[in-house]
Amino acid sequence: MINFLEGVLMGLKAYIAKRIVYMIILIFLVATFNFIIFNMMPGTTLQKYVANVGAKMTEERLNELKRIFGFDKPLHERYIIYIKNMLTWNFGRSFESTESVQKEIMSALPNTLMLMGISEIAAMIIGILLGVISAYKRGGTLDTALVTTSLSTYSIPIFWIGWLMIAIFAVQLGWFQPGGLEPQAWLVPGGRPTTILGWIMGRLYMLVLPSITLFIFLFGGWILLTRACVLETITEDYVTTARAKGLRERTILLKHVLKNASLPLITSVALTFGFLISGAMITETVFSYGGMGLLTYAAIFRTDIPVMQAVFFVTALLVVVANFIADLLYGVIDPRIKYG
């Protein structure tokens, strides 16, 4: 038994070491590809920015920008500097605001984590539970209703859901503001909260509409995915054996069926958290919510290349890490998976 455990641990260590090497190579390739994409576009990235600025740009200012952003150097030197900066999280300065890109990201990131965290986690939990119920009641009225609802909400454009929420709850009923990060009372002198609790309540108030919008759009996908995964395992022999032993249906569904059907769900959860930092671009734009999605949209609209490069690189990095974590969880969930 001891020799067996030692063999498993050695296999796991070797697997983790190989995956870490693979991750390092993949991150380097992602950074390289990110550099190539923006430099293969017609014209230089600085020329695109200058074209947006127009007549306000002088020759002296243009030369200064070339020096600041490194466009006075040959391509291979810029590539080496870029790789070093990406790996040290030195993303440079925004073309538009000239502020540090890292500072802009750290300012928008907490807002996105609050919005995406609330809506994604709620959609996952409720969607997975309803998906299990839908599969268990397959062919029945409840299953038909859940599948129809899921297909409907997942097919509706998210910007339309956002506009509908604003039209009903902000314009018609006046219960919420149509958008922004702070309640209207905070925007007048002396209107900001004097306590941390007041600040939290104000921010949660502004999260209601965008969170519900994202939840409506997302939970249907989790229902459909969970239902499909559970249907593949619910008719297996071990489920019949569990029922013959007199186990409760809840125990069979959660501990036997869902556990064995969870590998695709783990992959989806990992990818979801990997893309968490990128934000919900459409939702944040509709509600003028100052998160990573709105920051990315503004960077694309203004051709702010340093911001786009940073956001794309960080998002890809988190997806790589999320896949690594998912691979490790496979062996925990399913003992049949061996690391060697």
Q: Is residue 59 situated within a structural domain?
A: yes
The arithmetic mean of pLDDT across residues 288-312, rounded, is 83
Cα separations in angstroms, 96 against 154, 287, 301: 35, 22, 11
Structural domain including 177 reads 2-333
pLDDT digits (tens, 9 = 90+) for 86-98: 878 788 777 777 7
Which region holds residue 90: left if phi is over 0, alpha if psi is between -120 and 50, else beta? beta
CA 96 to chain centre: 25
pLDDT at 274: 67
Residue 338: inside a domain: no
Residue 174, Cβ density class (10 Å: 0-12 exposed, 13-18 middle, ≥19 buried) = exposed
22 falls within a domain: yes
Cβ-Cβ contacts under 8 Å for 89 (sequence gap 6 or more): 102
> Where is average pLDDT lowest: 8-17, 144-153, 299-308?
8-17
In a domain? residue 340: no
Q: What CATH number does the domain containing 195 carry?
A: 1.10.3720.10
Whether 28 maps to a domain, the answer reads yes
Instruction: Give the chain's length.
Output: 340
For residue 29, the model assigns a pLDDT of 87
Q: What is the pTM of this model?
A: 0.76
**pLDDT band at residue 41 using 50, 70 and 90 as cut-offs:** low
**CB neighbour list of residue 204: distance below 8 Å, 6 or more residues apart:** none
Cα separations (Å) of 138 from 88, 131, 159? 52, 10, 32
DSSP E strands in 160-266: the ranges are: none
Handedness of CA 190, 195, 200, 205 (dihedral sign): negative
**Residue 49 belongs to a domain:** yes
What is the rounded distance in angstroms from the CA atom of residue 215 to the CA atom of residue 182? 21
Q: Is position 145 within any domain? A: yes
Residue 100: CA count within 13 A, CB half-sphere: 7
3-class SS of residue 100: strand
Q: How much is the pLDDT for 68?
A: 63
At residue 173, φ and ψ (nearest 5 deg) are -90, -25
Q: Is residue 339 part of a domain?
A: no
| Distance (Å, whole) CA 138 – CA 133 | 8
Question: Which of 241, 242, 310, 311 lies closest to 276 in space, CA to CA?
Answer: 311
Q: Residue 253: how many CA atoms within 13 Å on its side-chain side?
A: 16
> What is the chain's mean pLDDT, rounded?
77
Q: Give me the half-sphere count of Cα atoms (radius 13 Å) on the Cβ side of residue 303.
A: 15
Round to whole Å and give the CA distance between 139 and 116: 33
225 pLDDT more than 60: yes
What was the pLDDT predicted at 1? 46
Tell me phi and psi for residue 93, to 5 degrees.
-115, 145
**Alpha-carbon distances of 137 from 143, 145, 247, rounded to whole Å:** 6, 11, 18
Look at the block and give the residue holding tokens 């590998």.
Answer: 263
Q: Could you give the number of structural domains in the chain? A: 1
